[in-house]
Every structure is written in structure tokens, then in C-alpha cells.
Amino acid sequence: MRVLVHSGFFVELEEGYVLILASRLLLKYESLSVRAYALMTFHLAMVKPWSFMSNWFQNDDNVPFYTIELKNFWEYNAKETSFSDLFNAAMANDSKFIVYLMMKECKAAFEGLSSLVDVGDGTGIVAWAIVESFPNMKCTMLDLPRLVANCQGSEKLDFVGGSMFEILKKCKEAIASKENGGKVIVIDVVLDNQKEDDGFFLAQLFLDTTMFVVLACKERARKEWAQLFYEASFSHHKITRALGIKSLIEAYP
């Protein structure tokens, strides 16, 4: 408790300890709870690969996670239903937080759009927030068939099962021209060290290393995002840092 008080997670009073904003986020029924996300982060499947880094260095596996489980993360996630449920709940936690910040800081990015395809949103938390905020917008939410099978849509929101990797390859062809308001909106980490936000940058680095150990991938720096959009033939892009450790990126054809 001394460590948690020193870290600013609790406040110590004479009669005991008091929850503050950061610690309340771990309560199950808080509207912006990140309890499931925290539980997933410290799940044995996520932590154990770090203990086998030396083994991984001495074999040909592409990621330490595979050294432990003999399968990649997505194969493990599909087979282990209890972890899969926790992972989906964690992603829902993350989506709620993003929605809160997005509608507060980046709402203008969605103004003027008549239609939107939301890719990889799970049960559609972000999509629902967008259509409720913009009554004239038609939204399609695409994710794995097993995730959207029981999702209920509306006149403004459809759920479609499919591969987000396939649609991302084709999004440049599918969107309208720049003159007609077409663009791709990405919400993701942009590694960008700002001295005034060292805490955010440190969190980005920890997430970057976790992505490497578990998924054999990484977070992108600002220059790497620019290169990605250039190779995909987008004319230009804009990055807005307003979502905690994540940013909202707008790429234009």
C-alpha cells in the first residue's frame, strides 16, 4: 500500500485509504472501468513469455509467446475461451475510454461524413457512440463473424462478419475521393516523445514491447505512419494527439 500511495494510486488518511480517480477505474461497475484490461495485462498468458526470453533467443520461433504456447496469440485466443472472453472485455474497456476521449476531443473528425465503416470494433461500442452522436450517419461495423453473430443492429448500424485485414487492403479503393469527403480514420499509438508527457511516452514504450513479445509486431513512430500512408498512395495525413497514449489519424486519398 505504501508503494501504491507513493505512486498516486490511493490517498492515505488516518482512518485508512481512499480511492482516487485512477483506482476507481479498476472498479467493475464504473462507466469507464478498465478492470478487464488490467486483468488481461497481468494474465499468465501475457506475463509468462517475458520469463522465457533467453529460451526464445536460442530458437527459431518468431515470438516468445509461441515458445510458451506452441501457437500464436490469435490461435491461443480462439482456443482458450476464458482468455478470449477476458480479451474481448478488455477491448470493450479500451473502446469505452476511446469513445469518451474521442467525442470530447476529436468529434470534428467525423462531422460531415454520411457513412462510415468501423473495422475491428468487436461488439460495436465505438460504432454505437458515433451513430448516436451523428444521427444522419450510416455506419457498418465489421469484425470476425463469431464476434458479431449475436450483435443487434439498427436502421443506422449494420454488423457484418469478415476479415479486417482484407478490408484494410481495399479501403483506399473503397472510400470516396478527397473532394467528396473520403478519408481513412485510424485510432492507434503514434510513438512520439513529448517531454511534457513522459508518462504517456513510457506507457507507449511498454505497450510497444508487449506487442513485440506477444504478437511479433510493434507500435509505429510518426515517420513510420507517414511511410505507411505514402506506400498506400494516400496524398497526406493528419495526426491528432488527444486520446491518451493513442492518437486519431486521418489519411486522405
Q: How confident is the model at residue 193 (pLDDT cuts 50, 70, 90)?
A: low
Give me the pLDDT at residue 164, please. 67
Give me the pLDDT at residue 165, please. 66
* 173 domain-assigned: no
Separation between Cα atoms, residue 156 and residue 146, nearest integer Å:
22
Percent of the chain surpassing pLDDT 70: 94
Of 78, 105, 132, which residue sits at a domain end?
A: 105
Looking at per-residue pLDDT, the higher value among 214 and 147 belongs to 214
* Residue 6 sits in the same domain as residue 67: no
Residue 202 has pLDDT above 70, yes or no: yes
* Element housing 117 (H / E): strand 115-119
* Residue 101 sits in the same domain as residue 61: yes
Give me the pLDDT at residue 6, please. 87
* Residue 20 sits in the same domain as residue 70: no
* Residue 5 sits in the same domain as residue 47: no
Give me the pLDDT at residue 169, please. 66
* 43 domain-assigned: yes
- Contacts of residue 177, defined as CB under 8 A and 6 or more positions apart, other chains included, come to 253
| For the ranges 136-150, 189-203, 225-239, the one whose mean pLDDT is highest | 225-239
* 50 domain-assigned: yes
Separation between Cα atoms, residue 228 and residue 150, nearest integer Å:
35
DSSP 194: -
Give me the pLDDT at residue 243, please. 74
* 49 domain-assigned: yes
* Residue 16 sits in the same domain as residue 53: no
Give me the pLDDT at residue 39, please. 93
* 73 domain-assigned: yes
Q: What total of structural domains would you count in the chain?
A: 2
Separation between Cα atoms, residue 80 and residue 44, nearest integer Å:
13
- Contacts of residue 188, defined as CB under 8 A and 6 or more positions apart, other chains included, come to 219, 220, 246, 247, 249
* Residue 47 sits in the same domain as residue 22: no
Q: How confident is the model at residue 43 (pLDDT cuts 50, 70, 90)?
A: very high
* Mean pLDDT for the stretch of residues 72-96: 89
Of how many residues is the chain composed?
253
Containing structural domain, residue 1: 1-30
* 47 domain-assigned: yes
* Residue 10 sits in the same domain as residue 70: no
Mean of all residue pLDDT scores within the chain = 84
pTM, 2 dp? 0.78
* Residue 37 sits in the same domain as residue 99: yes
* Residue 70 sits in the same domain as residue 37: yes
* Residue 100 sits in the same domain as residue 89: yes
Residue 239 has pLDDT above 80, yes or no: yes
* Residue 87 sits in the same domain as residue 63: yes
Give me the pLDDT at residue 126, please. 80
* Element housing 17 (H / E): strand 16-19
* Residue 43 sits in the same domain as residue 94: yes
* 181 domain-assigned: no
User: Crossing angle, helix 125-133 and helix 81-105, to 10 degrees?
Assistant: 30
Separation between Cα atoms, residue 107 and residue 101, nearest integer Å:
9
The pLDDT tens digits for 151-183 are: 777 888 888 887 766 676 677 777 777 777 788
* 176 domain-assigned: no
